[in-house]
Every structure is written in C-alpha cells, then in structure tokens.
Structure 1
C-alpha cells in the first residue's frame, strides 16, 4: 500500500530539517574556495581515469556516424536508462532512504541495474549519500556544494576525503544493508559485477544480435554511455544544489532543477527531496520523473509495496512555513488556481 504521512496537531518537519540543527558546529569549517582551506592528497588514478573517459567521449561524439547507427544509439540510451534506474530507484530511493519495500524479483532487478551503472560499491554509495543528507553543505558532506560546482560534480572523487567526512561516516549506520545476503554477495564480487554488467554484456549484445560493429558498440555503450550516466548522476550533487527555486525549504542549498530532473530520471526536484527524503517519488507530482513511473509499475504488479509519501496537508504546511514563495499552488508568487507545471 502507499502510506501517506499525515499532519497531526503540530507540523512535523522532515528529518533533514531537524538534522541541520545538529550540524551547526560544522558550519565554521565550510570552505573558502573550490579547493578548500586544507591540504589534501590528490587521487591521480581517478584524475587520469576521469580525464581520459571525458576526452575519449568527446572524440567519439564528434566522429560518430550518427545517421547510420540509430539502432545502436537507441540501444545505448536503453542501457543508460537501465543503469540510471539502478541508481535512482535502487541505490538512492530503495537502499539509502528505504522509501518503499521490494520483493525479491524487484530487488534483483535493482541490483543488476545498479551494476549496469558501474558506480562505486553499493555500500560506499549508500554510506556517502546518508552522510550527505545528514551533514549537507558542511565539511562532513562528501560533495559539499559550498566548495563550488566542479568539486560537487566530480572533484570530490579526485582527492582524499576531508577528515570530517571520514569521521562522520563512521557514525552512519549501514548495518541494515549488510544484513541482506544478496548485498553481501554483491559486495564480495563487486568488481566482477561491474565489469560484466557495465562493460562486457552491453558491448557483446549488439554484435551478436544484429551483427553490429564491435568498435562502435564499445564506443557508444562502454565509453560515451558510461560517461553521460556518470555526469547525469553527478549533476544532482552539483547543479541541483546550486541552481533552481526552493518552494519547500528556502534555507537549504538543494533546489528544484528541471534540466537535472530530465537527465537524471526525476532526481532534480532536489529541494523537495531534501525536505521529504523518505518520499519514494522524490518529487511532489511526479513530473519528469521516469523512476517514479517505473516504481508505480512495479507497485501495480505487486513487486513494490509500502510506498512512502507525505500527505498534501503536510506538504502544504511545510511550503507555507519554509518555502521561498515559488510553489506552483501554495506559493505567494502564483495564484492558487494556476498550475505552473502545466
């Protein structure tokens, strides 16, 4: 069932609003520049891998025979969507925030899809994201947007973590994740899963099915597709924390960003998400939210259940109390009858 969290006598603010008061002691450690105010060791292996991936992707995009390779392009976008669902629906909404429950078939789909994305191990992803929510925009935030766009986007992967990130990461409980034998198995063979599902299988399918070029298949699916999906995920940490309106909570960095929502399957409605992190939709109305549509499908066939979502009354109260006035229905800038999103 879809459970609505209703408003009682008092407005119960979301966890992130409450938690921000507990991390004020970290505020003084915010950085003065993109590179921070402390010395840290650069991770040159990551720097070279990220630089090489983007350089190769740029060269391939310029030289790609687009007209004659439409089926392969469509295939690459499909693989990217599968990986994206593994990140947005699996690592993010299911394993990090527990915003819904999944039966075994859906859990396996989410886990395999996450392997297609080829990102960090699931345990590390969940831990970093829980730290991010609890200590957002402080020195304990792994990708603190106060350090600038580049750091929040991918720079944080190019250097050792700030000591506060490591310290606070130790207090984040991820025991729920490792209690699942399926996750333990996936963690044990993480590298193998990543190689097979992210690079090997996507590359061999087109040549075997319709005699596609091995070279262009590898270029489109193992290089460009991988590069784009990484950047779409990173954009949630960077662009969606820097640009957009804040109809739900005006005093936090996360914002409503349409562009990010389109490329990241609904993850760009970030002001809402940081206000109601336990909502499986990560947005109020599901607009440009492909992951929400897929989860609704799995709910309809019984593979997803206990879909958490706040009541309209609670959302309205939070908007009126904490928003910047830009909400399409309850904000001060728009008449109540006007639907800004239509």
Structure 2
C-alpha cells in the first residue's frame, strides 16, 4: 500500500484492516416487500396528514404532531445515537426511560438495532459490512438499505460489534423485548 499524503498512517491502517476483513463481492439484491409497503405507507400517510393540516385539522392536533416529531428526533439523536451508540454521556434511569420512549415514537425499530447498525457503520464504513454503504449510492445509504435484505458480510461480521454495554442495560433490553 503506497502512502497517501492526505491520510494519516492510522487512517491508512484502518482502511487496510477493513478491506482485508470484508469481502467486496457484490450480491443479488433481495427486496423485502413488507418494508417497502410499510415505508411507502408512512410517506403516503405523512402526505395525507400534511394535506389535512391545511384543510381540516385543529391547531392543537398540529401542535401535538410537532411535539411528537420533536420528541422522536430527540430520542434518536440524544438516545440511540449519542448516549447508546457513542456513549458520549451518561444518563440516569429516568432520562434513559424517557429517551427510550421517544425513540419508540420515531418508529426506527429498537435502540438495540439502531446501536448495532450504527456501530457497524463506523467500524466497517463504506464496505459491504456497512448497513448503509455510501458506495452503493445516495438512495441506498439513506433509505434503500431499509428495503432490502442485509448483505451477508454484515450478517457475518455483526457479532464482532461490541454490545456488552447494551446487553447489560435493562432499559434497552426491555425495549428489545
């Protein structure tokens, strides 16, 4: 491997390790039609809700919708992402329960799934083991990865992700059940 003046030697080492562990062999894409239906329905209902918000919905309903939307964003960003995926801070039990509820409002599966997939994304970014591999295109990395079966490399390397902290967290294990 020739040195790249734009990358540190540590970055090059991580890239070399990633590419030597993960197979870059393409696989046949298998669509999960249930997921396609669910996400299409979410978006159709959102469009219909937007239409209703201009025609017949009471202002209190709109306010409730904005509050729930804000709580779902906080659950995902503060909870699943910063607290549980990156362990950026510690939270006492009441805040963890609140964030778990807010994450559930977001309809992004459980925090357990979110943490596992996000840690896979960081450990194996831009490889076949990355759940939303950017090399597969813009649509795939933002939405498409939710509509197809996981690549075999993600399944194979999924148990290499550190999840002991998640397994020992009673709030996250309750949500997973």
Question: TM range, normalised to the smaller chain?
Answer: 0.7 to 0.9
CA spacing shift, 1:45–1:63, aligned 2, 3 Å: same
Distance 1:67 1:171 in 2: 51
Q: Residues 137 and 100 (structure 1 numbering): CA distance in 2 closer, same or farther, change over 3 Å?
A: same
Segments of 5+ residues of structure 2 without an aligned counterpart are 1-7
Q: Root-mean-square deviation (CA), in Å? A: 2.5
Count of aligned residue pairs for this structure pair:
169
TM-score (norm 2): 0.83
Name the SS of the counterpart of 1:71 in structure 2: helix
Distance across 1 between alignment mates of 2:159 and 2:22: 19
Which of 70, 83, 103 is residue 72 of structure 2 equivalent to?
83
Query: Which residue number in structure 2 is paired with residue 25 of structure 1?
Result: 20
Q: Choose between structure 1 and 2: higher helix proportion.
A: 2
Superposed counterparts of 1:1-342, under 5 Å: 19-25=14-20, 29=24, 37-65=26-54, 69-188=58-177
Aligned to 2:3: none
Distance in structure 2 (CA, Å) of the matches to 1:152 and 1:113 = 24
Measured in 1, the distance between the counterparts of 2:47 and 2:66 equals: 17
Other structure's SS at 1:57 match: helix
CA contact (8 A) 1:137 1:145 kept: yes
Counterpart contact for 2:103–2:110, Cα < 8 Å = no
1:121 positional shift: 1.7
Q: Which runs of 4+ in 1 moved over 4 A?
A: 15-18
Pair 52,172 (structure 1): closer, same or farther in 2 beyond 3 Å: same
TM-score, length-scaled by structure 1: 0.45
